[in-house]
Chains A and B, each alone.
Chain A
Amino acid sequence: MQVIARLALFVCLLAARCIAAAPTPAPLSPAEELQRVDGEVGRYGGHLVVGQRSEPKTLNPVTAADAVSREVIGRLMADLITINRGSQQIEPGLAKSWTTSADGRTFTLKLRKGIRFSDGHPFDADDVIFSFTVYLDEAVNSPQRDLLVIDGKPLTVTKLDQYTVRFALPRPYAAAERIFDGLAMLPKHILEKPYREGRFVQTWALNTSPAEFVGLGPFRVKEYLAGQRIVLERNPYYWRTDGDNHRLPYLDELVFLFVGSEDAQVMRFEAGETDVVNRLSAENFALLARERTRTGSQLVDLGPSLDYNFLVFNLNDLSAEKKKLDTISAKQAWFRDLKFRQAVSAAVDRDSIVRLVYGSRGTALWGNVGPGNKLWVNQAIPHPQRSLETSRQLLKSAGFSWNNAGQLLDSSGKAVEFSIVSSSSNTQRMKMATLVQDDLAHLGIQVHVVPLDFRAMLDRMFQSFDYEAAIMGLGGGDPDPNPEMNVWLSSGSTHLWHLGETQPASDWEQEIDRLMQQQMITLNYEKRKRLYDRVQQIVAENLPFIFLATANVLTGAKAQVGNFHPAVLDHYTLWNVDQLYLRTEARRVERAGVR
């Protein structure tokens, strides 16, 4: 009896779910200054299901720091000026146009008139002022705040009229428009009260009722089921239209399923339960490619990504912890020797890494900017072939020698051996470590590969400095050099090989500091490029990182997903989610019948 009652309830719920139709797009009004976008004209309807690694932690765009949360928030919110993921150039968002003063320090933005938040409330300059007040508030502690504070001084925002705002920077700042990307504009009418009451940080947690999440993005929250999924529905007031004056987005619903690891995402995609896989490893890509005919999917290899994997030696100053890390500081004599690092770099078989780790869907790297970053890569960086002979000569000239068993000995006769830590959950980097281990064995260097939990590894690299060498990856955000500042500035928080330098530890680090500071205030692209080229050259010559390889950006979607134009920038597949549409409903129904 109970079973029947439950079944009946289930059927009712199912029916209710089907009946509760998505809101239809609001009719266009001449008062709205909408943005027309190019691209194939699609059709309305359907829902797109995307697998996600885990649940978002929060939907508060100001405090969210993790990628998964930002993945969802990005679909709910909009920014003033945006980086088009396809062209990698900036384009207007909520600001329809802007002017820059001659000294590059003030920006005057004209906002779109007549557009509305997802609850129908109009958007104007007050919302912009409110948003920036929140982002700049130290009590809120937004991760984006750093971008808005230049030389310790925050940028200032003033309202000129209801649809015009002016931003003033403390000093000229290259590519300043790019900082607006990803800064979601907040609804003052909803969030001002909690902000005044000091509750802002707790607002928009996942337990908030869906109606309270209000944004300017293509979707709004419909339903959240803890541990299972979050369902977004069309924002009927969205401010972009297609070429035929249809208000976007096309999709009725966007569903994020919390499925777990990449492998789990691939399995769901294979089973037809999800429509898009965001980023695939080469092995999973090859697996899906073999089954392409059966699953009917479009798989896209976008070429080299912007992130870079590298081997880094611990060059931190260990004198403070001398006692505990004695053995490591003894080995630092080798690591500090440029010839030793050059020898290691020359011995690494990068082509094999590309072949074995990425199944040839990757690119070998000799510098921090890969060929995927067309605007900034320094083409003059040499790509020397792997040569054990060069390595041996370098080591010999640095005072190393070999014993009869072929072991490498340093000038004091000590055998050269060290360990490489890497994240145990990242199979690709673990594989790189095993290949490097074998490469260096040819030089008589004994390398131990130590898999560590990712958090434990970060702790060793950033806090205790209790490691000898590590294989890590960085980058991947924005192609512009500015986000890389914290890696290359000697005082930077991600200056991994030597953290917490009060002043540059070497001449070349000082030179990099100067060049990076200079490029940040240089407005002309050509001049900036020259400065950044020089940085890349210094890095490649001094090898604080021994660059290994980068994966290609590999993505996939069902064949019927239209306007699927993935990009090498994050978010790879859903950046144009407002334009995605389903070509036909037929397949979906058919599949549901089979199941």
Chain B
Amino acid sequence: MRTKTLILLLALAILHLMVIFAGFIAPYDPGAQNRELPYAPPTRLHFFDASGFHLRPFLYASVLALDSYQEDQTREYPVHLLARGGSYTILGILRSNVHLFRVDEPARIFVFGADGYGRDEFSRLLYGGQMSLAAGVLATLLSLAAGTVIGTVSGYYGKWVDESLMGSAELFLSLPWLYFLIAVRAFLPLHLSPAGTFLLLICVIGLIGWARPARLVRGIVLSARGRNYVSAARGFGASDFYLLRRHVFPETFGVLLTQAALLVPQYVAAEATLSFFGLGVSEPVPSWGNMLSTLQQYSVLVSYGWLLAPAGALVVTSVIYWLLADALHSRLKSYSI
């Protein structure tokens, strides 16, 4: 049980580190267009040529001939590890120009192929993950914070406070959000900067989602409030704040942790959905959602399978988080018995 949780946490850490260190792992800038290479398929790595086996893999440059790509076998381009390329920053502080792997120009290494502008799908996937995962995590924190405060207040004070807060929670749960957001977009200024859109996305996703954690927290607070030791503490003259902090709030901790693991993938998917419909981060900044939106075209969907990579990333992320939520849930259950 314990090892399973550890493995999941490790996988999660790797996933997030890859995305944080996107600049280092990605061979190219996510916005760099290669206009000669639209929809180039994933590059094939070679180990053998006329002179035999090479330990260092190499590749051939792709050239577009009519409707399909061919390898130009006149020159081999070995894959260099830790090579210098375009400069990048990590977390806005660390500046560098060393990339995990690269090939010499003019050849390109496209791990997951290229999109319609000849942009490296792999680089975009990593950079897009920054947008999508950060939106998921931050929105989760926001919605848990809001949910905890509202749920605690509602459960602890009860009566009309409880009724009005839970009433509005139900209202929030029942609104058709996608249509609502599409309508809201019409009232916003024409253009928002990517940072502005990002913050707006987090606020929107996070604030919409407060209702469910609030209801869960309320239930726990409601039952904790009536426990004997809480009544006893109250009898000794403890203040409301002390009671909440010392006795009631810690009860909700496990639930919040499990909720977090459930909400993150849900919110990553929410970001993807909004960007897919053009309500999220706009071109040329990548996010998993706006990368997937090119697949709305039938011809792209059936012809260029590698552009499904962001969907794969979404699935992997969600599965890891859900398994983690499951593991956390069963661990907490075993504690409480």
Q: Residues of A with Cβ closer than 8 Å to B?
A: 263-264, 266-267, 281, 283-284, 286-287, 289-290, 349, 352, 355-356, 359, 419, 421, 424, 427, 431, 434-435, 437-438, 448-451, 456, 466-467
Interface locus among B20-28, B96-104, B292-300 = B292-300
Q: Does the CB pair A266–B298 fall under 8 Å?
A: yes
Task: Determine if B299 and A263 form an interchain contact, defined as CB atoms under 8 angstroms apart.
Answer: yes
Tell whether A287 pairs with B191 under 8 Å between CB atoms, given A437-B284, A450-B282. no
B303–A356 touching, CB < 8 Å: no
Contacts known (A356-B35, A424-B278, A427-B297); A287 close to B302, Cβ less than 8 A: yes
Q: Check if A286 sits within 8 Å of B299, measured CB to CB.
A: yes
Q: What's the nearest-Cβ distance from chain B to residue A191, in Å?
A: 42
When the two chains form the complex, which single residue of B31, B35, B282 contacts A448, counting CB atoms closer than 8 Å?
A: B282
Supposing A356-B38, A438-B33 touch, asked if A283 and B299 sit within 8 A by C-beta, the answer is yes
Closest to B299 in A: A283
Contact residues in A for B67 (Cβ distance below 8 Å): 286, 289-290, 359
Is there contact, CB below 8 Å, between A287 and B299? Answer: yes
Partner of A434, one of B117, B186, B300: B117
Q: Which of B117, B186, B303 contacts A456 (CB 8 A)?
A: B186
Give A267 to B301 CA distance when docked, in angstroms. 12
CB-based nearest A residue for B186:
A456
Contact A355 B300, beta carbon cutoff 8 Å: no
Q: Is the CB of A284 within 8 A of B284?
A: no
Cα-based distance from A574 to B337 in the complex (angstroms): 76
Query: Would you mind naming 26 contact pairs between A and B with Cβ atoms under 8 Å apart?
Result: A263-B298, A264-B298, A266-B299, A283-B303, A284-B299, A286-B303, A287-B303, A289-B67, A290-B303, A352-B35, A355-B35, A356-B38, A356-B116, A356-B118, A419-B190, A419-B191, A427-B296, A435-B117, A438-B31, A438-B117, A448-B282, A449-B283, A450-B190, A451-B278, A456-B186, A466-B190
Q: Report yes or no: B191 in contact with A450, Cβ–Cβ below 8 A.
A: yes
Complex: how many Å from CA A5 to CA B31? Answer: 62
- Number of contacting residues on B, CB 8 A? 22
B33 contacts A263, C-beta separation under 8 Å: no
Closest CB in chain B relative to A35 CB, distance in Å: 41
Q: Nearest chain B CB to A132's CB is how many angstroms away?
A: 44
Interface of B is mostly: loop
Bound together, the chains give a CA A284 to CA B300 distance in angstroms of 9
0/1 interface trace, chain B 247-282, chain A, CB 8 Å (1 if under): 000000000000000000000000000000010001
A355–B278 Cα distance when bound, in Å, is: 24
- Which residues of chain A are near B31, meaning CB under 8 Å? 438
**Cα of A424 to Cα of B296 in the assembled complex, Å:** 12
Complex Cα–Cα for A170 and B5 (A): 88
Report the minimum CB–CB distance from B301 to chain A (whole Å): 9
Known: A267-B298, A427-B296. 16 other contacts (CB 8 A): A283-B299, A284-B299, A286-B299, A287-B298, A287-B302, A352-B35, A355-B38, A356-B116, A419-B191, A431-B116, A434-B117, A434-B283, A435-B117, A437-B284, A450-B282, A456-B186
| Chain B, residue nearest A420 (CB) | B191
Contacts A283-B300, A456-B186 given; does A349 touch B35 at CB 8 Å: yes
CA distance A204 to B186 in the complex (A): 37
> Complex Cα distance A74/B278, Å?
37
Q: In the complex, what residue of chain B is closest to A451 when comparing beta carbons?
A: B278
Taking CB atoms, residues of chain B closer than 8 Å to A290 are 67, 303
CA distance A548 to B191 in the complex (A): 23
Please report which residues of chain B, range 296-334, place their CB below 8 angstroms from some CB of chain A when the two chains form the complex: 296-300, 302-303
Closest Cβ neighbor of B303 among chain A residues: A287
Which residues of B are found within 8 Å of A427, using beta-carbon distances? 296-297
